Structure 1
Amino acid sequence: MTGRVRTVLGDRPRDPSAVWDYHEHLFQRSPLLPGEDLDDEAASEAEAALLRASGVTAMVDATPVGLGRRPAALARISARTGLTVVATTGAHRHAHYGEGHWLTALDAAALAARFTAELTRGLPVRDAPTPEPLARTPGGEPVLAGVLKAGLGYWSIGPFERRVLEAVGEAHRRTGAAVMVHLEHGSAAFEVLALLAGHGVPARRVALAHVDRNPDPGLHAELAATGAYLGYDGLARHRSWPDSTVLGCLLAVAAAGRADRLLLGGDVARRSRYTAYGGMPGLAYLGERFLPRLRAAGGEDLTRAVTSRNPAAWLSGHPPREPGGEAGG
């Protein structure tokens, strides 16, 4: 499967013309974000269409197990809008689930079995502790995940997070799938890379999400030198920093010779920020507002690296699908 990307509508060859948003959420629900649920298929489809109209043609939906995923809806939205979508398995940090959630009680072996099944056999219609029927594409095929995710707290990797990292490592060894790690405020990046390496995940297969929430271009260049991808997704957060800060970090890393390690996304992730849900600035902000600034400041080749070549390289490489059956384990 090297050179192919596992999307919600099946495995696809790398498309050199694709423009990727490496990190968004079309569906999400978390106790940490009360009132911000993304749970309306029609609204999420309308938002996906706005992203597509802005010139972005592909995205990773980064919602992992237990946080409101709707894989069959992702497949329908992808088919209707023409937006390529990659789904995610794995788990977020413990705080997104709270005490008593069934997922946080699983050991590393059970988590690894679930994640692997979702990458190779299919995603369940509903996330539950017991096996569920598989979600299906409009054509009747199972919807598969294409990315593994783990999450950390702020300078904190607790027992659940460590089990998830171990499970992600096992699932990656079995499948070769790309790995995304949520870094809370950009913290603990070297630490999580070391842990993942101990579980068999090389840095070159890891995307460090939210690295720009610690806007330190020197640190970013050091992280890029490990081979890890840097996920810049802090756009339109002007209360914390202007877009020029994110752009400056990205350009500095590129100038240090690490343009091939950069990814770009929005991680808008809240209904109050989605145009189709009545908020702003919406998913189209990336294509309409930020990409023109990147192109003007960094040139066309850097823009293509960040939005096309790098995400395709990060996402490529999966084993053959396994025959049907139920997801879970």
Structure 2
Amino acid sequence: MRFIRTFHGDISPDELGLTYSHEHIVCRPPYWEEQQANDLLLDDKEKSKRDVLDFKNLGGQAIVDATAIDYGRDVQAVKEIAEETGVTFIGTAGFNKSFLWDAAIPDRLKQVTGDYQTYYEWISEKSVNELADFVVKEVEEGLEGTGIPGGQVKFGTGYNRITSLEEKTLRAVARAHHETKAPIHSHTEAGTMGLEQMELLKSEGITLEYMSFGHMDRNPDPFYHEKIAKTGAFLSFDGISKIKYAPESTRIHCILELVRKGYEDQILVSGDTARKSYYKHYDYGLGLENILVKWVPRFIEEADQKGFNGEKLVDKFFVQNPARCFTFKK
């Protein structure tokens, strides 16, 4: 039995369509609220919806909202955007990275996390299996008790290290995967620690074909990418439009290197659009439309110049590969 779990129930993989595989739509991360980092608060549902409509009007059909509980997701607002736009959304159970966990748990979450003051306290005091049970519940019963199910499970690690609590959440997410068969996504800070994550996942009996590793373009190292690809895992190039990290030529080079080596079926592309200044309708940024309006034509042109079939590759990255990556295989 194969299906994709969305905000509005399970669908067949061939119903998913053109997909952005890693975005953030409406979220108020408690850590960034405490730091008064307004740019990192996507706190206006209507503005977010207008960017989603831009995506839809260009042929976009589905978005993976990769916002975990510790990143301040607004599940109800995203559900309303899904209903009002007709775009399919996939939600995320699990956790992000440890530096976010010093933040206070919002009162609205006390009913699902327990009587803890901070995420650090909650994650520290719970056992691996108790955290795994929490993630399973979010996949099977609903994110934050809403009845809106999670369609993937997520963990994260920091820059060039994995803390003890990050290992704990990784193991909890791995065990939740075994229970639910939900696809797994990892946050890799600046693209680091992917190989080390793999070793821990293997110790939990994870088959890496169920995995997608995020932020691979933040570490534009073709040797490193090939090491990950050889395991069968998906690689998410989800920093499109962020020139401050690297020019698009670097991302396209890394992607085409993987294609040249035979890994075109394991590549995902998205924008991780998590700041007001990235959104068109918040702060006049490039917006969710930029990938389809500008990046895709450029990628096709460069791929064709190098002897590849650019349009075929785009179909794989945005349609075929997401349909396989986000499928539950029970």
Q: TM-score range by the shorter chain?
A: 0.7 to 0.9
Q: Given the alignment, which residue of 113, 117, 131 partners 2:133?
A: 113
Helix, strand or coil for the counterpart of 2:158?
A: coil
Distance 2:140 2:188 in 1: 26
Instruction: Give the AA of the match of 1:14.
Output: P
Q: Is the 8 A contact 2:23 2:65 kept in 1?
A: yes
Aligned to 2:318: 307
Q: Distance in 2 between matches of 1:262 and 1:240?
A: 19
The worse-fitting range, judged by mean Cα deviation, of 271-280 and 229-238 is 271-280
C-alpha deviations, 1:182-218, integer Å up to 9, x for none? 1111111111011112112211111110011111122
Distance in 2 of aligned mates of 1:285 and 1:211: 19
Query: Which stretches in structure 1 are left out of the alignment for 5+ residues?
Result: 125-133, 136-141, 320-329
Shift of 1:154: 0.8
Q: 91, 95, 98: which one pairs with 1:91?
A: 95
Q: How far, CA to CA, are the matches of 1:155 and 1:232 in structure 2?
A: 19
Question: Does 2:123 match 1:104?
Answer: yes
2:21 corresponding residue in structure 1: 22
Aligned residue type for 1:6 = R
Query: Separation in 2 of the partners of 1:67 and 1:144?
Result: 17
Q: For 1:280 and 1:104, locate their aligned partners in 2 and report how far apart those are by CA, in whole Å.
A: 36
Judge conservation of contact 2:215–2:239 (CA < 8 Å) in 1: yes
Q: How many residue pairs align between the two structures?
A: 303
Match of 2:73 in 1: 69
Percent of counterpart pairs with the same letter? 31
Match for 2:189: what amino acid? Answer: E
Say whether 1:50 aligns with 2:70: no
Corresponding residue number in structure 1 for 2:239: 234
Aligned equivalent of 1:255: 260
Task: Identify unmatched segments of 5+ residues in structure 2.
Answer: 104-117, 304-309
Q: What's the CA shift for 1:230?
A: 0.5
Q: Does 1:219 align with 2:241?
A: no
Question: Are 1:66 and 1:103, in contact at CA under 8 Å, matched by a contact in 2?
Answer: no
Distance 1:66 1:17 in 2: 27
| 1:147 corresponds to | 152
In the alignment, residue 182 of structure 1 is paired with which amino acid? Answer: H
Opposite residue 217 of structure 1, the aligned amino acid is P
Aligned to 2:112: none
Query: Which structure shows the bigger proportion of residues in helix conformation?
Result: 2
**Aligned-residue offset at 1:166:** 0.8
Give the distance between the partners of 2:206 and 2:26, measured in 1 at CA: 28
Deviation at 1:85, TM superposition (A): 0.6
Partner of 2:162: 157
User: Displacement of 1:318 after TM fit?
Assistant: 5.6
Aligned to 1:55, the other structure's residue is in SS state coil
1:122 to 142, 148, 153: 142
Residue 233 of structure 1 and its aligned partner are, at CA, apart by 1.0
For residue 322 of structure 2, give the secondary structure of its aligned residue in structure 1. helix
RMSD: 1.6
Distance verdict in 2 for CA 1:272–1:221, change over 3 Å: same
AA aligned to 1:104 is I
Counterparts of 2:141 and 2:205 in 1: how far apart (Å)? 22
Residue 16 (structure 1) shift: 6.0
What CA deviation, in whole Å up to 9, does each residue of 1:123-158 have, x standing for no partner?
A: 22xxxxxxxxx32xxxxxx21000111111011111
What SS is found at the alignment partner of 1:50? helix
Structure having greater relative contact order (Cα 8 Å, sep ≥ 6):
1
Give the conservation status (yes or no) of the 8 Å contact 2:16–2:323: no
Which range is displaced more, 5-14 or 39-48?
39-48
What is the TM-score with the length of structure 1 in the denominator?
0.88
SS for the counterpart of 1:231 is strand
Q: TM-score, normalization: structure 2? A: 0.87
Query: Separation in 2 of the partners of 1:107 and 1:286?
Result: 41
Paired letter, 1:120? E
Paired residues for 1:173-212 under 5 Å: 173-212=178-217
User: CA separation in 1, counterparts of 2:318 and 2:278?
Assistant: 22
